[in-house]
Amino acid sequence: MRVVGVFRNVVRTLFMAIAVMPILTLVEAKPAFGSRTLVIYDQRLTELDSYSTFFNSLKERSHELTYRALGNDSTPISLFRGEDRLYDNLIVYPVRSRHFNKQLSVENLLDFFSSGGQVLTVTSPEGLSDNIRSFLNQLGIYPSPRNYYVNDYYHGDENNTLYLTKGKSLNDYVVSPGDYNLVYKGAAALLDNRQLIIPVLQAPKTSFTLDSKQSNEEWTIGSEGYLAAAFQSLHNTRLAWVGSEVFLSDEFSASNGRFAEELTKWTFGEKAVLKSVGFTHHHASGASYLESPYKVKDSIVYEIGFSEWNGSSWGPFTSDDVQFELRMIDPYYRITLLPSETSSDAQYYTTGNFSLPDHHGIFTFLVDYKRAGLSFITEKDVRAIRHLANDEYPRSWDITNSWVYLTSIYSVITVWVLFVVLYLSLRKPKTVETGKKNN
């Protein structure tokens, strides 16, 4: 009996675990790119106990945090094992250690970012290493040098602390729209004009970035400076920069917590992540290209599906600005796609029936969806569109414009035949008088 009771308890436990597992899966939010996160910090500048709220938020979102403290040693920081990344995400706090340039070089940071690693960099006027500055400069983000603080006589105090009572994100995909009561103390940055940079938080118009040691030198003036910025590569690798260490601290978590959470969710691929579930194009009759290669003026249908990561699973992505292009060097057609079918994990879009151009050659069927803050989607397929064969051209009498010319041709032929007939039949015979010739 005891064995039977133990067996029943084991079965009951397994049943409950299996029943609860889907619920836990739905509750936990997970990054779409991976959850292995490395935190690099300088012990002399950063105390991890002051960021417990921020780190707990990451852990609740299924991040596996690994901490690496920088000291006086020069032990290299390994981000790869061979060609494989050891971490999916990287958080770099302000660093002042002179050994950091040797421990993690600019080349290693760029390789990590280029291979798909997501990066969150936090700098401060006291902590900005040369390699982090060079890394950000490569992407078009130029933080102010050391000892430069953002000042504002209207929104700040004597400690260089800004109180942004109506702080707004410049991109709704990175940080959800709304008025945020933010507290900021740190540096500002100048941004390049490249399209891959996403401004997130702009400095007030009345602010300026000033050297605390030489008050006559300024880095930014007014709204040309930015307090937070993001970058997304063409391969959908993401980076975010914040110029204030205390922005993420427990001290200001009540004010900055929601903004910081939205920013890190975007950076680590927990929101605004899109993917294509495939595309098809075929004849309007349903025949594929392999069954019947395209020729000029054929009626074609193009379809594609989009999915969006909601933090736990893929769902349909709905938009009204998805466009299809048919290109040969330049676009011949640019058609706005219309929603068609919707499944549990994707929204499908279609062009409907459209006719291929009256031009043969090599064409590209392209959907290039690039919106700042959303993952970039590029789907293209190169196909040949042939000209008509000799027996595929319409006969002359099928072309209404040719009827005038056909009528004139046959009219001339008819008139000429009548003329010949009449000429031959109506001509009088010539009479010749006969007579005897006299010598």
Q: Does 236 reside within a domain?
A: yes
Please indicate, yes or no, whether residues 216 and 258 belong to a single structural domain of this protein.
Answer: yes
Please indicate, yes or no, whether residues 308 and 225 belong to a single structural domain of this protein.
Answer: no
Please indicate, yes or no, whether residues 259 and 289 belong to a single structural domain of this protein.
Answer: no
Please indicate, yes or no, whether residues 245 and 296 belong to a single structural domain of this protein.
Answer: no
pLDDT given at position 18:
38
pLDDT given at position 438:
67
Q: How far apart are CA 233 and CA 238, in angstroms?
A: 7
Residues of the chain where predicted confidence (pLDDT) is lower than 50: 1-27
pLDDT given at position 66:
97
Q: How far apart are CA 136 and CA 218, in angstroms?
A: 20
Domain limit, last residue, from 267, 293, 311: 267
pLDDT given at position 432:
66
How many residues are given for the chain? Answer: 439
Question: Among 393, 382, 380, 365, which residue's Cα sits nearest to residue 297?
Answer: 393
Please indicate, yes or no, whether residues 146 and 50 belong to a single structural domain of this protein.
Answer: yes
Please indicate, yes or no, whether residues 334 and 223 belong to a single structural domain of this protein.
Answer: no
pLDDT digit string, tens, across residues 118-139? 999 999 999 999 999 999 999 9
Please indicate, yes or no, whether residues 348 and 203 belong to a single structural domain of this protein.
Answer: no
Please indicate, yes or no, whether residues 328 and 311 belong to a single structural domain of this protein.
Answer: yes
Please indicate, yes or no, whether residues 346 and 216 belong to a single structural domain of this protein.
Answer: no
User: What is the pairing mode between strands 218-221 and 330-336?
Assistant: unpaired
pLDDT digit string, tens, across residues 387-412? 998 888 888 778 888 899 989 999 99
Q: How far apart are CA 253 and CA 433, in angstroms?
A: 135
Q: How many other C-beta atoms can be found within 10 angstroms of the C-beta atom of residue 225?
A: 23
Please indicate, yes or no, whether residues 36 and 153 belong to a single structural domain of this protein.
Answer: yes
pLDDT given at position 13:
41
Q: Does 434 reside within a domain?
A: no
What is the pTM for the complete model shown?
Answer: 0.84
Q: How many CA atoms within 13 Å lie on the side-chain side of 332?
A: 19
Please indicate, yes or no, whether residues 136 and 79 belong to a single structural domain of this protein.
Answer: yes
CATH of the domain at 326: 2.70.50.60
Range of the domain at 279: 273-390
CATH of the domain at 43: 3.40.50
Please indicate, yes or no, whether residues 277 and 207 belong to a single structural domain of this protein.
Answer: no
